[in-house]
Structure 1
Amino acid sequence: MLLDIDPKAKGLIFDLDGTISDTMPIHYIAWRNAAARYGIDFTVELFDSLAGIPLYPTVEKLNEIFNKNIDPKEMGDAKEEEYENNMHLAKPVEPVVEVIKKYHGKIPMSVGTGGLKRLAKKSLELIDLDKYFDIIVAYEDVNNYKPHPETFLRCAELMGVSPTDCQVFEDGILGMQAANTAGMMVVDVTKYYEVTTGK
């Protein structure tokens, strides 16, 4: 099954983690280890349900779910440090990379991520794709994160493309909801590769 764009698409928006770069197993292990210090069993199912939520709000969600009072910055920073130390192990998601290279310079492209901008840029550099994206909308650039459509709407605005003419490539349920709410075309990239998070 070949991944390609919709003929109607005039702008392409890519999620990053789990879409362009297969970082999700590395994020999962970092979250599992950080959560274990607070007595939380961070399962794959829990991880999947929280995919797309930024760093500190994820800890706030864990506080709600497990009735804890964990400092979001303390736990979040510990998780992010472990992730950053291992992010070089991530491999590019080849079917998505092929689309990026095929349409680079032909139609506008951007990255819309719930991650921190610094790490998003580093992630793209590590798989040699940083030169393909001038537009990155990250956690710091929005007030509302996925499933709210603001991330993708901001990408469309910066690309100068109407939201309905944008196609979003996503692996997370919340990101797909955000794209649908924004009125954009959406592709679930998980159909094009196997994710191994130790299931």
Structure 2
Amino acid sequence: MLLPLPDGEFKAYLFDCDGTITDSMPAHHRAWLTALGEWGGDFPEELFYAWGGRTVVDVITDLNARQGLSMPVAEVAARREELFQAMLPEITAVPGVMEHISQAYGRVPFAVVSGSTRESVTASLTALDLLDRFPVLVCAEDYARPKPDPEGYLLAAGLLGVDPRDCVVFEDTELGVAAARAAGMACVRVPAPWER
């Protein structure tokens, strides 16, 4: 099922990674539950999806505050990444997005704008044999203000040399859609796994 594009001629396609290019959100949630559980933390599925697009550091910090814990942020983040990477062989691409990548590759430039680390994004795209399609990766460590702030998307447009108004964004989270709109970009909302 090809997701419909908004009207217009777009000079660049910008993609979130997890849940947008890669159907990885269920695996991410399992990795979170295991990593947090080792420290007595929890991350209910509804909250996990509501917080989609937030950085790992922000999530752990806020879960600590909500749950009265003092989980070590760097250790939990590293453990979550280790667990997620072990699941990469089971990750697949999101079909409607993959069709756009196949149809537009070589015709317009692509970038990834993700709240995940470069390590995680690179591993996910490599597992799907897609890394070479994305010359620009804007990841959590590349910008100061996470989604819904437009900084990441504006940075990607600048790196591609394309006016933000000429970009279309593919996003699966409300924070990501808000970031794209704040950047002045058109947006395609990618359905969540249970909506497909």
TM-score (norm 2): 0.92
Distance 1:13 1:133 in 2: 9
Cα distance between partner residues in 1 of 2:2 and 2:86: 33
Q: What aligned pairs does 1:103-182 form with structure 2 within 5 A after superposition?
A: 103-182=104-183
Note closer, same or farther for the CA distance 1:195–1:75 as it changes in structure 2 (3 Å cut).
farther
Paired residue secondary structure (1:114): coil
Question: Aligned Cα RMSD in Å?
Answer: 1.7
Q: 8 Å contact 2:81–2:120 — kept in the other structure?
A: no
In the TM superposition, 1:45-84 aligns within 5 A as: 45-84=46-85
**Number of residue equivalences:** 195
Query: In the alignment, which residue of structure 1 is the partner of 2:15?
Result: 14
Q: CA deviation at 1:125?
A: 1.3
Equivalent residue of 1:13, what SS? strand
Question: SS of the residue aligned with 1:125?
Answer: helix
Gaps (5+ residues) in structure 2? none
Where does residue 2 of structure 1 map in the other structure?
2
The 2-side partners of 1:122 and 1:33 are apart by: 20
Q: What is the percentage of aligned positions where both structures have the same residue?
A: 36
Bigger drift between 29-38 and 179-188 goes to 29-38
Q: Distance in 1 between matches of 2:117 and 2:39?
A: 23
- Does the aligned pair in 2 maintain the 1:52–1:175 contact within 8 Å? yes
Deviation at 1:4, TM superposition (A): 4.0
Q: Which letter does structure 2 place at the counterpart of 1:3? A: L
Compute the TM-score of the two structures, normalised by the length of structure 1.
Answer: 0.91
- CA distance, structure 1, for counterparts of residue 190 and residue 30 of structure 2: 22
Hey, which bits of structure 1, 4+ residues long, moved more than 3 A?
193-196
Note the residue ranges of structure 1 that are not aligned, 5 or more in a row.
none
- What SS class does the counterpart of residue 190 from structure 1 fall into? coil
Please say if residues 11 and 108 of structure 1, whose CA atoms lie closer than 8 Å, have aligned partners that are also in contact.
yes
Cα distance between partner residues in 2 of 1:129 and 1:69: 37
